[in-house]
Amino acid sequence: MKAECRVIALISQKGGAGKTTVAMQLAAGLVARGHTVAIADLDPQESAVRWAESASAEAPFPARVRALQGEGAALAKEVRKLARLASIVLLDCPPSIEHPHARAALDLADLALVPVVPSPPDLWSARAVERLILQTIAVRPQLRGAMLVNRAQRTALSGSVIEVLREFELPVLRAGFSQRNAFAQSAVIGGSVLDLGKAAESAQIELMRVVDAVLAEMEKGR
């Protein structure tokens, strides 16, 4: 991997936790902070590729998005190729940690981010991903991991959820995403909440806070 390129994997055990949505929003936010970003779509459903393809020619998605196939060394080679074109590569993983691409992503990443919807079943399944990340860190200490709260309802971060979040060994990122239409809607125009103007201001503020928290988390790993 090119020394100055950082790799962030979005990984979760549960489908629908928000890996693709977070990857696309993060990519746009990191570009807004001056980074060049590439997304490796490791999910056979190719949702990230489709998202970017929804953009118009006049306003293309701000990061290169490429579907990558293969396993092991072949996949690593493809990710390395993308890393030559960007300062940050985001890996959008398939919906299961049993999928070989999810494990390969952990072997390639500097930071594994686990989007978790703050509801009990989602938190339970996040424990399995956490275990896998901790096992990987045991053999590859340069990997860092963090939980990223996604789709938080204003009422949901109640006592019991906060209790469960505290039980994670991995840190919980200090910024997260609320449940907001803007995050889903920006897929329709093949962009991010940064393209939605003043109406999406709260989502934009949230995104840039997450971007800065992710950048701070990566700095710790240097």
Ligand X SMILES: Nc1ncnc2c1ncn2[C@@H]1O[C@H](COP(=O)(O)OP(=O)(O)OP(=O)(O)O)[C@@H](O)[C@H]1O
Q: CA 174 to CA 212: how far, in whole Å?
A: 10
**SS3 annotation, 149-165:** ECCECCCCCCHHHHHHH
105 interacts with ligand X by CB under 6 A: no
19 interacts with ligand X by CB under 6 A: yes
95 interacts with ligand X by CB under 6 A: yes
- The entry of ligand X, Mg ion, none near residue 184 (CB within 5 to 8 angstroms by kind) is ligand X
Q: 54-113: which residues touch Mg ion (CB under 5 A)?
A: none
Torsion, Cα 17 52 183 160, to 10 degrees, reads 10
47 interacts with Mg ion by CB under 5 A: yes
Smallest distance from ligand X to CB 134, Å: 21
122 interacts with ligand X by CB under 6 A: no
Contact between residue 130 and residue 163 where contact means Cβ atoms under 8 Å apart: no
19 interacts with Mg ion by CB under 5 A: yes
Closest CB to Mg ion among 86 and 102? 102
Stretch that binds Mg ion, among 16-24, 56-64, 83-91, 162-170 (CB under 5 A): 16-24
- The entry of Mg ion, ligand X, none near residue 186 (CB within 5 to 8 angstroms by kind) is none
**Distances 77 to 7, 134, 146, 193, 203 between C-alpha atoms, Å:** 13, 24, 25, 32, 35
Stretch that binds Mg ion, among 3-11, 40-48, 108-116, 145-153 (CB under 5 A): 40-48
Smallest distance from Mg ion to CB 43, Å: 5
Q: CA 62 to CA 55: how far, in whole Å?
A: 10
Listed residue (184, 93, 90, 166) closest to 123, CA to CA: 166
Where does this chain bind ligand X (CB under 6 A)? 12, 15-21, 43, 47, 95, 150-151, 177, 179-180, 183-184
